[in-house]
Amino acid sequence: MQSKLKFILLFVFVALLFFVIGLNMNFIVQTIKQKAQPNMLENPKASNNPIFTRQSATFEGTVLDFTDAYLDAKNSNNQKARLPLSTAYKIRKYDPAIKQSTESASTDFRWLEANRDARIHLDLINGEYQVVQIHYYK
């Protein structure tokens, strides 16, 4: 009976010893990884993240309608979006006669056209993507 008790106590002691060693090894490995990659962000999110100085997106599709604050558009998959206009958007139009694009003065509302294909550039401004440029390319 005594030898059985000694065996059980020895087994518990060895199990605890391996458990403590395992915890320390995990801590050591994590410390080495942190020192190897100082100031590295883990999986940066596409939102207001301080590492990004500017975030942008591009939408290609057809301008359906517009107001003084929004632009309604759809892409080639017929997904529709209402895109807010920034306070300083610009419009570029391709002129096939001169084979160049001309740019509007900032926020010239008269240059907006519905039912035309466009490449729309957006920037993340105050937490939302806003239209900064509309390029009618056809």
Same domain, 33 and 77: no
Please state, in angstroms and as integers, the Cα–Cα distance from residue 42 to each residue in 34, 38, 49, 87, following that order. Answer: 11, 11, 12, 34
Rg value, the chain, Cα: 30
Q: Checking DSSP bridges between strand 80-95 and strand 128-136, what pairing results, if any?
A: parallel
Cα separation, 19 vs 17, whole angstroms:
5
pLDDT tens track, the chain, 138 positions: 677 777 777 777 777 666 667 766 666 656 665 555 444 444 444 566 677 778 899 999 999 988 888 889 998 888 898 999 998 888 888 777 777 777 776 666 677 888 989 999 999 888 788 999 999 877
List the domain range (segments joined by +) for residue 25.
1-40
Same domain, 64 and 131: yes
Q: Per the domain annotation, does 48 fall within a domain?
A: no
Same domain, 122 and 97: yes
Same domain, 124 and 65: yes
Cα separation, 54 vs 47, whole angstroms:
10
Same domain, 82 and 14: no
Same domain, 32 and 66: no
The tally of domains found in the chain comes to 2
Same domain, 124 and 61: yes
